[in-house]
């Protein structure tokens, strides 16, 4: 005869199994709809925190090129962490353990070993402990998932085991998103190469025609001045047409200045180049671990910085310029500050500081631009661009 305790135990096991399958199915279904890396991670964190009744979570990924860890996504960070990006710079106990290969499965991490939470008392909303879930794709290290809630010290062994399985699902989604991004980037490279060939062919043909007209003008300048002048005019017309064509084509190759460099490296070189021309001291600072950004955002921010620095050289008469790039999982912020002559924003000449171009570039990135200036007080420019797709 089956005892009541045995029946109760079997029922509890069945309920636990149904809960686990329900959680795995919900997360797998959500991840299968995403091919964008940022959106996939955001979706995963949202579902994990909801289904496990957690308070917060964040994901570390390893940069595919350098192997360095960076904060790739976060969910409901407490103010002490959300308002201080430097808290997520450098290594920590979890990452060091993971990279040494000693973090085999989901593990509870106590406050005493967590360098992110250590010595934090205010602004943590009670957060003191978190669990770390290693992310692997086959034998390849992908990153670490951290999750926490404020009313517990440790997750149960069953939840840790389930989180390890969830980590496998997230790893597969990350690998799929990275493969998709590489295929898109490869397509962009091929398109740029195609455009480059078209530019070469167009300019080569145009310059050949211009050279023929100029050679004709040179040969006829003494024999027939009228025909020589007509040839010169035709050469000028062709020159203008080819210049316009070159400008239109080059606009489609805007990402070229960043090729082979990270955005922080490109911006640092850019500000130093303008400092040499403008005769001012320049300081560049990058906050947050560098991580891959969409090509259009990298190119757009680079061009915004380039235009703003050009305007400083032309108009500001500044002695010091500071450019700061802040990278977070859900947005990137670029600030440019100078101690130049500034201007009255209520009586700003049309086109001053290239605001039309700066606003247009920022708008195309889906971001916001703030400008603050007054006579004799310099100028402060902030551009903030969201990284999560707008629903």
* Predicted local confidence at residue 255, as pLDDT: 47
Q: Which positions ≥6 away from 389 have C-beta within 8 Å?
A: 36, 38, 39
Q: Give the integer Cα–Cα distance in Å for 307 and 378.
A: 17
Q: In terms of domains, do 302 and 339 share one? A: yes
pLDDT averaged over every residue in the chain: 80
Q: In terms of domains, do 178 and 202 share one? A: no
Cα torsion 143, 391, 299, 188 to 10°: value is: 80
Instruction: Fill in the DSSP letter of residue 390.
Output: P
Q: In terms of domains, do 165 and 243 share one? A: no
Q: In terms of domains, do 274 and 381 share one? A: yes
- Domain annotation covers residue 391: no
Q: In terms of domains, do 46 and 84 share one? A: yes
Q: In terms of domains, do 12 and 148 share one? A: yes
- Domain annotation covers residue 176: yes
Q: Give the integer Cα–Cα distance in Å for 367 and 54.
A: 31
CA atoms within 13 A on the CB side of 54: 29
Q: In terms of domains, do 233 and 357 share one? A: no
Encoded tokens for 55: 């308070």
Q: 18-42: per-residue pLDDT in tens?
A: 888 888 888 888 888 777 888 888 8
CATH value at residue 196: 1.20.5
Residue carrying the six token digits 């402060």 = 380
Q: In terms of domains, do 160 and 13 share one? A: yes
> Of 165, 183, 201, which marks where a domain is finished?
183
Please name every residue paired with 285 in a beta bridge, in sequence order, or none if there are none.
Answer: 324
Residue 391, pLDDT > 60, answer no
Please name every residue paired with 109 in a beta bridge, in sequence order, or none if there are none.
Answer: 130
Mean pLDDT throughout 224-242?
82
> Of 253, 275, 301, which marks where a domain is finished?
253
Per DSSP (E only), the strands in the chain are 56-62, 69-75, 107-109, 130-137, 140-148, 281-287, 320-327, 331-338, 368-373, 379-386
Q: In terms of domains, do 226 and 285 share one? A: no
Q: Give the integer Cα–Cα distance in Å for 68 and 63.
A: 5
Q: Which positions ≥6 away from 65 have C-beta within 8 Å?
A: none
Residue 196, pLDDT > 80, answer no
* Predicted local confidence at residue 323, as pLDDT: 97
- Domain annotation covers residue 340: yes
Q: 83-113: per-residue pLDDT in tens?
A: 888 878 878 878 888 888 877 777 777 654 6
Q: Which domain holds residue 373?
A: 257-386
Q: In terms of domains, do 240 and 326 share one? A: no
Count how many domains the chain has.
3
| Contact between 358 and 317 (Cβ < 8 Å) | no
pTM recorded for the entire structure: 0.63
Residue 351, pLDDT > 70, answer no
Residue 45, pLDDT > 80, answer yes
Residue carrying the six token digits 């001291």 = 281
- Domain annotation covers residue 356: yes
Class of residue 157 by CB neighbours under 10 A (exposed 0-12, middle 13-18, buried 19+): exposed
Task: Return the closest-CA partner of residue 381 out of 345, 335, 346.
Answer: 335
């Amino acid at each position: 005869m089956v005892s009541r305790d045995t029946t109760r135990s079997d029922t509890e096991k069945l309920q636990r199994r149904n809960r686990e399958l329900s959680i795995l199915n919900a997360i797998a279904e959500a991840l299968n709809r995403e091919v964008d890396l940022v959106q996939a991670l955001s979706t995963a964190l949202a579902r994990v925190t909801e289904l496990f009744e957690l308070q917060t979570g964040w994901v570390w990924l390893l940069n595919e090129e350098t192997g360095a860890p960076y904060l790739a996504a976060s969910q409901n960070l407490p103010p002490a962490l959300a308002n201080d990006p430097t808290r997520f710079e450098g290594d920590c106990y979890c990452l060091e353990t993971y990279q040494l290969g000693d973090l085999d499965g989901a593990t509870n991490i106590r406050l005493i070993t967590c360098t992110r939470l250590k010595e934090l008392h205010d602004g943590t909303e009670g957060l003191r402990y978190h669990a770390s879930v290693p992310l692997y794709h086959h034998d390849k290290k992908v990153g670490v998932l951290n999750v926490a809630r404020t009313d517990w010290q440790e997750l149960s062994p069953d939840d840790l085991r389930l989180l390890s399985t969830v980590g496998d699902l997230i790893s597969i989604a990350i690998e799929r998103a990275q493969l998709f991004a590489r295929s898109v980037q490869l397509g962009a490279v091929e398109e740029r190469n195609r455009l480059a060939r078209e530019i070469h062919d167009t300019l080569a043909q145009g310059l050949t025609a211009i050279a023929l007209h100029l050679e004709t003008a040179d040969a006829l300048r003494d024999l027939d001045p009228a025909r020589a002048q007509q040839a010169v005019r035709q050469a000028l017309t062709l020159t203008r047409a080819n210049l316009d064509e070159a400008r239109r084509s080059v606009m489609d190759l805007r990402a070229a200045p960043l090729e082979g460099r990270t955005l922080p490296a490109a911006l640092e070189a850019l500000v130093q180049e303008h400092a040499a021309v403008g005769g001012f001291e320049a300081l560049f600072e990058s906050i947050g671990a560098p991580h891959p950004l969409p090509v259009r955002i990298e190119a757009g921010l680079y061009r915004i910085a380039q235009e703003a620095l050009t305007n400083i050289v032309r108009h500001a008469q500044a002695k010091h310029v500071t450019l700061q790039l802040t990278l977070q999982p859900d947005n990137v912020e670029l600030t440019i500050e100078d101690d130049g002559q500034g201007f009255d924003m209520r009586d700003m000449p049309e086109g001053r500081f290239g605001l039309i171009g700066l606003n247009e570039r920022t708008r195309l990135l889906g971001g916001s631009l703030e400008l603050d200036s007054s006579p004799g007080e310099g100028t402060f420019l902030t551009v903030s661009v969201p990284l999560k797709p707008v629903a």
